[in-house]
Amino acid sequence: MQSFRTPEIYGRGQTAGGSSGKVGILQFPASRLAYTACHVLVLTVLAMLVMASVARADSRVEKNLELAPGGRFTLESEVGSVTITGTTRPGAHIVVTSPKDDLESELEITYTAGNGWASVTARRKHESEWEHRISVHFEVEVPAETRTEVHTGGGSITISGLHGDSDLKTSGGSIEVSGLTGNLQGHTSGGSIHLTEVTGDAHVATSGGTISAQSVDGNLTAHTSGGGIHIERVSGYVEATTSGGSIHAVYSPGNRHGGVLETSGGSIELAIDSSANLNLDASTSGGSVSSDVPVRTEGTLSHSHLQGAIGSGGDELRLHTSGGSIHIRAL
């Protein structure tokens, strides 16, 4: 490190060597000046970060409600995303978080509980554009054996590890369900829907987004106004319709329940058990129909229409697309 020497002041007519000359000028090393400027800059930035951190202080509210296994939990909020997880503990534990430090001045949250039920309701205290400018998240833990009902005015909904029927609605956000034992009703006005390991009948719909369902042990109804549908291993009847996207579906081995798969703009690919007994009616307005599974045809053969019996026949399996091809393959 360069040493710093206290500068000397020379008298009139003297220089450092004792010779005569003009008055000396104080001189500081350039590296010392750069170091000082850098030090000041760092301190300024740190101060600004501290002030910004204080300004962004989060809100956090925690609440515990009585709720025994086998009960019902409902949450209705005009804004916010929701996550509900099933646990082995009794009671409902709710944590509400938001980047807004004065959340309670904007949102009125009511917590109530009764015999076998618990409820959370959130309402804006005044009309504003606030709900579009900040986020609110409800993190909830309930006993695994709990029926749930969640309605939110704008945000995603995620539930997992529950044994009980679920009714989920959001005006704008995705829906994700995993490890559910019970019937499911799910609707979003704008977002994707993802289901994994659902034991029970599932009815889901979105006004704009994709739908994926994996390992559904029950009947499945899936509707989307704009997106593809991807289904893997469904044991029951399948009704899948989309106004704009392809459909990929794989039935579980032994599934003989038939279904309806329709799209207005995409292809359809279906995999079924070759030993299934079904009556097939597959048609397309803009492509071809092919099948690796033997079909005992009826009527006139056409590259765009295939109708007949798979095995000995049984429930109806109807496939139709207005703009794509159809292919049926064996598991």
Same domain, 292 and 215: yes
Q: Which domain holds residue 273?
A: 192-331
Q: Is the dihedral of CA 285, 290, 291, 297 positive or negative?
A: positive
All residues at 6 or more sequence positions from 244 whose CB lies less than 8 Å from its CB, including other chains: 225, 226, 227, 263, 264, 265, 266
And the tokens for 35? 């170091």
Long-range contacts of 206-214 (CB under 8 A, 24+ apart): 206/175, 209/174, 210/245, 211/240, 211/242
- Nearest Cα to 147, choosing from 178, 116, 179, 109? 116
Same domain, 198 and 130: no
Q: Which of 55, 73, 97 is the last residue in one of the domains? A: 55
Q: In the prediction, which pLDDT does 182 show? A: 98
Contact status, residue 240 vs residue 258, Cβ threshold 8 Å: no
For the chain, what is the radius of gyration of the CA atoms? 33
And the tokens for 205? 């719909």
Same domain, 77 and 45: no
**184 located within any domain:** no
Long-range contacts of 218-224 (CB under 8 A, 24+ apart): 218/183, 219/257, 222/193, 224/193
Same domain, 200 and 323: yes
Instruction: From first to last of the 331 residues of the chain, give the pLDDT tens digit.
Output: 444 444 444 444 444 444 444 444 445 455 555 556 556 565 665 656 545 444 444 889 999 999 999 999 999 999 999 999 999 999 999 999 998 887 887 889 999 999 999 999 999 887 655 444 668 999 999 999 999 999 999 899 999 999 999 999 999 899 999 999 999 999 999 899 999 999 999 999 999 899 999 999 999 999 999 899 999 999 999 999 999 899 999 999 999 999 999 999 899 999 999 999 999 999 999 899 999 999 998 766 789 999 999 999 999 999 999 989 999 999 9
Contact status, residue 198 vs residue 180, Cβ threshold 8 Å: yes
* CA–CA separation, 272 and 182 (whole Å): 25
**176 located within any domain:** no
- What is the chain's length? 331
All residues at 6 or more sequence positions from 305 whose CB lies less than 8 Å from its CB, including other chains: 282, 283, 284, 289
Same domain, 137 and 208: no
Cα 145 to chain centroid, rounded = 23
Instruction: Say how many domains are in the chain.
Output: 3
**167 located within any domain:** no
Same domain, 93 and 44: no
Angle value at C-alpha 139, between 232 and 173, nearest 5 degrees: 50
> Residue 205 — φ and ψ, nearest 5°?
-155, 145
pTM: 0.81
Same domain, 26 and 120: no
**317 located within any domain:** yes
**115 located within any domain:** yes
And the tokens for 59? 């809100």
**326 located within any domain:** yes
CATH of the domain at 136: 2.160.20.120
**26 located within any domain:** yes
Same domain, 321 and 209: yes
Q: Which of 155, 184, 212 is the last residue in one of the domains? A: 155
**9 located within any domain:** yes
Q: Which of 127, 155, 183 is the last residue in one of the domains? A: 155
Same domain, 296 and 326: yes
Amino acid identity for residue 42 in this structure: V
Same domain, 102 and 72: yes
Same domain, 123 and 82: yes
Same domain, 4 and 120: no
